Structure 1
Amino acid sequence: MSEVWLTSLLTANPQEGFELAIKLARMGVKYTQPSAEVRDRLRPQYGSDANALIASSQVVAINFQTIAAANGYWRDVR
């Protein structure tokens, strides 16, 4: 994948930061498994697995922590 899609971790507010955290998680899966066909085939398995869903939530939470730190926890007025 050579497409540049992540140009900054800076976001206007926490909502945008959380959405970016989800995008980072999804892109991580896409980079790890580039075949859309394989991802589509696997989705029903992990979509109904509580442990897999919790793990996905943990990845998003870690990404959100990183983005929040990069944004000074949105304390700074832009």
Structure 2
Amino acid sequence: MSWLPSLKTATPEEGYSLAIKMSRMAVKMTQPDDEIRSKLRADYANNADSLTMASHVVATNFQTVAQANNFWIQS
């Protein structure tokens, strides 16, 4: 089973959770070594710029999910 069977979600909140998962999976796929990711975590966890960039990645992924789910369609 795929970790991403669909971009469709029931609610925007579920969509945001999916955006976070997509962002985390991108990091895991980019750096598959658990030990290296653990070592690097301290560097970005205490860096405001790194955290802001992580938020930007999540926001971009949420935009993708929201578009797939028509969350922004005006009624």
- TM band (smaller chain): over 0.9
The answer to whether structure 1 residue 48 and structure 2 residue 46 are counterparts is: yes
The two structures, once aligned, show a CA RMSD in angstroms of 1.2
> 2:8 & 2:55 partners in 1: Cα distance?
21
Alignment of 1:1-78 (within 5 A): 4-73=2-71
Q: CA deviation at 1:16?
A: 0.2
Structure 1: runs of 5 or more not aligned:
none
> 2:41 & 2:57 partners in 1: Cα distance?
17
Q: CA deviation at 1:68?
A: 0.3
The 3-state SS of whatever aligns with 1:6 is coil
Identity of aligned residues (%): 53
> Does structure 2 retain, via aligned residues, the 8 Å contact 1:13–1:74?
no
The 3-state SS of whatever aligns with 1:73 is coil
> 1:27 & 1:9 partners in 2: Cα distance?
14
Query: Structure 2 length normalisation: TM-score?
Result: 0.93
Moved over 4 A (4+): none
Kindly tell me the number of residue pairs found equivalent between the two proteins. 73
> 1:74 & 1:61 partners in 2: Cα distance?
14
Q: Which residue type is aligned with residue 67 of structure 2?
A: A
Q: CA deviation at 1:72?
A: 0.6
